[in-house]
A and B are shown apart, each in its own frame.
Chain A
Amino acid sequence: MIELRDVKKAFNQGQHNEYWALSGISLAIEAKKVTALRGPSGSGKTTLLTLVGCLARPTSGRVSLQGRDISGLPERFLTEIRRQTFGFVFQQFNLIKGMSAIENVMLPAYPTGRPHKELHQRAEALFERLKLGHRRHAKVEWLSGGEQQRVAIARALINDPQVLIADEPTANLDTALAREFMAILESFSAEGRTVILTSHDPLVVESAAVHRVVDMRDGRLLEA
């Protein structure tokens, strides 16, 4: 579904602090499966995730989504693809403080111009599914870590994306909540969504919910 060919990514290119986060990655990510990127800090996991999720463009190489090369698309088209195809769960959850959980969840759908009522119903359904209905009107800063993550998951799903991207999803969760998260992931892959996540948490990468683990180090793949 997603294919990367000799992808390289440099930051501050041409400057004294030039840094190559990825040095020639070729990888095919299968649809409807859970793929985990594993590696120490600085191995390039998150950078790879941003390229796959259309948050950034590679410095060189090709990224294709369902056979379509998306690496050279202008920002506007990338945004459109990102909105329609990907849902993101960030490490720090990145919810907007001062707003209620349900408002945060509906945010990615605002640019689509879908009717407010429809959005509201979809958000309510997601809250019910994630057992968070009772907290939907609470401000996000009043929620616990686990609740915040479920809000972040609901937000990632509001546009009904095919791919869910999660960056270190269990880094801020205790064991019980981490297991709960993996159960949610399993249900997503069961319903046919592709999940790509980064983690070095054994609870995640050794979980039965994860179909494939890709090891990384120094911006390269260790996978044979």
Chain B
Amino acid sequence: MKSWLEKQRHLIDFTLASLARRKARNLGLLAVYGLLVFVLAAASLFTHALRQEAALVLHDSPEVLLQRLVAGRHDLIPPGYLEKIGRVRGVQKAEGRLWGYYYDAVVKANYTFQVPTTEAPAPGKAVIGAAIARSRGLAPGNTISFRSYSGKLASFEIAAVLPAASELVSADLVLVTEQDFRSFFDYPAGHYTDIALSVANPQEVRNVATKLAAALPDSRPILRDEVLRTYASVFDWREGIMLALLSAAILAFAILAWEKASGLSAEEKREIGILKAIGWETGDVIKMKLWEAGLISLLAFLIGYSAAYVQVFHFGASLFEPVLKGWAVLYPRFQLTPVIDGLQVATLFFFTVFPYLAAVLVPIWKAAVTDPDAVMRT
């Protein structure tokens, strides 16, 4: 056992010395390979973090949202619906929600007006998202005027700016009282945009949705899980788009790494011949070369993954932000919570390290099985 360990130590020593002897080639390979891992890891880390963020945000959202449809389009909830829902078993709480969109021609951006269910601002006052505050240069105490769709001018005093931490979902938000909301949008009394429902038992959510669909056939229940799935697929789609855009570069890097890794130089082949002639077995040579390839690929993976982690979680993924976050005018600024998913790391590891090892194995094996007497004949 001790001699086996000592042998491995010798092999590793020789491998490290070999790597150091071909510094330029190995550093070049490490750079290209690391860059490849970086691109893939950054895309995957960023979308995963976004999905996680969306899941966290939606964690406290209602289990079911009910929207009324007319001709397949979203319409207002008329009076009386809340009472009808109250009679559906399993529904713990039903609340009418008021929200809508407003286009601000000044900054050419859409805002989301909403009436908060708790802690609503005083009449005539508004709480705004950080992105609006930035783009309009507003601070608490300032006044902002909007011309409503009916042409009336409405002014609101800024009561507060929403914290930057919630910017992912609150960047474009304007929170006002119910009275101000209805008056600004000429919203008919007793009507709501949609209804938020709380269901006590999570197992019952689907049943409640079925009952709601039966009781209110012109309405559409939307489950929180469905929203989460939609977010996930939107981010997956964006990740796919980004990877498709980068596929040419990724392929070029992959080919370069393959080319660099899979060809053994004449000098390396000569060295293998010498080692075999002086008593190294084919297995020793293969082990030594696999140590070499393993060290390079592991190092490239660690460098690429760490760089991607720093890029995504400390520098706000500035390289991929435009594609992965979206194209909004009011760009949310937010810091993603660092998340590392074991399965994701394992998948990336599998798809970057294993092809490399497979690429180098065949040429190594070919060189390692050369006759040891070849060195005498050269």
User: Which residues of A are interface residues toward B (Cβ below 8 A)?
Assistant: 46, 49-50, 55-56, 75-76, 79, 82-83, 88, 90-92, 94-99, 103, 107-116, 155, 159, 167
Residues of chain B contacted by A159 (CB below 8 angstroms): 279
A65 vs chain B, min Cβ distance (A): 15
Residues of chain A contacted by B267 (CB below 8 angstroms): 97
C-alpha spacing A56/B375, complex, angstroms: 11
Cβ-neighbour of A116 out of B6, B273, B281, B378 (below 8 A)? B6
- Which residue in chain A gives the minimum CB-CB distance to B3? A113
7 new A-B contacts, CB < 8 A, other than A55-B371, A107-B14, A110-B284, are A76-B282, A94-B273, A109-B10, A114-B3, A115-B6, A116-B9, A155-B278
Cβ-neighbour of A56 out of B270, B273, B373 (below 8 A)? B373
Pairs A–B under 8 Å by Cβ, sample size 25: A49-B376, A50-B373, A56-B372, A56-B373, A79-B372, A88-B278, A90-B375, A94-B273, A94-B274, A94-B277, A94-B375, A98-B21, A98-B22, A107-B14, A107-B275, A108-B280, A110-B280, A111-B7, A111-B10, A111-B281, A112-B3, A113-B2, A113-B10, A114-B3, A116-B9
- Pairwise interchain contact A55-B373, C-beta atoms closer than 8 A: yes
C-alpha spacing A92/B374, complex, angstroms: 13
- Which residue in chain A gives the minimum CB-CB distance to B267? A97
- Pairwise interchain contact B278-A107, C-beta atoms closer than 8 A: yes
B278 vs chain A, min Cβ distance (A): 4
- Pairwise interchain contact B279-A167, C-beta atoms closer than 8 A: no
Residues of chain B contacted by A116 (CB below 8 angstroms): 6, 9-10, 13
Residues of chain B contacted by A75 (CB below 8 angstroms): 281-282
Q: With an 8 A cutoff between CB atoms, is B17 at the interface?
A: yes
**B330-378 residues at the A interface, CB under 8 angstroms:** 371-373, 375-378
Residues of chain A contacted by B3 (CB below 8 angstroms): 112-114
B202 vs chain A, min Cβ distance (A): 60
B277 vs chain A, min Cβ distance (A): 6
A10 vs chain B, min Cβ distance (A): 13
Q: With an 8 A cutoff between CB atoms, is B271 at the interface?
A: yes
Residues of chain A contacted by B376 (CB below 8 angstroms): 46, 49-50, 55, 90-91, 167
- Contacts A96-B271, A110-B11 given; indicate if A88 touches B277 (C-beta within 8 A): yes
Residues of chain A contacted by B278 (CB below 8 angstroms): 83, 88, 107-108, 155
- Residue among B5, B375, B378 with the most chain A CB within 10 A? B375
- Pairwise interchain contact A79-B7, C-beta atoms closer than 8 A: no
Residues of chain A contacted by B7 (CB below 8 angstroms): 110-113
**Total residues of chain B contacting the partner, CB 8 A:** 36
User: Which residues of B are interface residues toward A (Cβ below 8 A)?
Assistant: 2-7, 9-11, 13-14, 17, 21-22, 267, 270-271, 273-284, 371-373, 375-378
Residues of chain B contacted by A103 (CB below 8 angstroms): 17
Residues of chain A contacted by B275 (CB below 8 angstroms): 107
Residues of chain B contacted by A113 (CB below 8 angstroms): 2-7, 10
- Pairwise interchain contact A79-B17, C-beta atoms closer than 8 A: no
Residues of chain B contacted by A50 (CB below 8 angstroms): 373, 376
C-alpha spacing A43/B99, complex, angstroms: 98
Residues of chain B contacted by A97 (CB below 8 angstroms): 21, 267
C-alpha spacing A112/B8, complex, angstroms: 10
Residues of chain A contacted by B22 (CB below 8 angstroms): 98
Residues of chain A contacted by B2 (CB below 8 angstroms): 113
Residues of chain A contacted by B284 (CB below 8 angstroms): 110-111
C-alpha spacing A110/B281, complex, angstroms: 11
Residues of chain A contacted by B273 (CB below 8 angstroms): 94
Residues of chain A contacted by B4 (CB below 8 angstroms): 113
C-alpha spacing A76/B270, complex, angstroms: 20
Residues of chain B contacted by A111 (CB below 8 angstroms): 7, 10, 279-281, 284
- Pairwise interchain contact B371-A56, C-beta atoms closer than 8 A: yes
C-alpha spacing A211/B17, complex, angstroms: 42
C-alpha spacing A113/B6, complex, angstroms: 5
- Which residue in chain B gives the minimum CB-CB distance to A46? B376
Which A-B residue pairs are the 10 nearest by beta carbons? A113-B3, A83-B279, A98-B21, A113-B7, A110-B10, A55-B373, A50-B373, A56-B373, A108-B278, A113-B6
A111 vs chain B, min Cβ distance (A): 5
Residues of chain B contacted by A99 (CB below 8 angstroms): 17, 21
- Contacts A99-B21, A110-B10, A111-B284 given; indicate if A55 touches B274 (C-beta within 8 A): no
C-alpha spacing A36/B307, complex, angstroms: 62
C-alpha spacing A107/B271, complex, angstroms: 11
- Which residue in chain B gives the minimum CB-CB distance to A21? B377
Residues of chain A contacted by B276 (CB below 8 angstroms): 79
C-alpha spacing A98/B271, complex, angstroms: 11
Residues of chain A contacted by B21 (CB below 8 angstroms): 97-99
C-alpha spacing A99/B13, complex, angstroms: 12
- Pairwise interchain contact B6-A82, C-beta atoms closer than 8 A: no
- Pairwise interchain contact B279-A108, C-beta atoms closer than 8 A: yes
A81 vs chain B, min Cβ distance (A): 10
- Contacts A94-B375, A98-B21 given; indicate if A79 touches B279 (C-beta within 8 A): yes
Residues of chain A contacted by B377 (CB below 8 angstroms): 46
- Which residue in chain B gives the minimum CB-CB distance to A49? B376
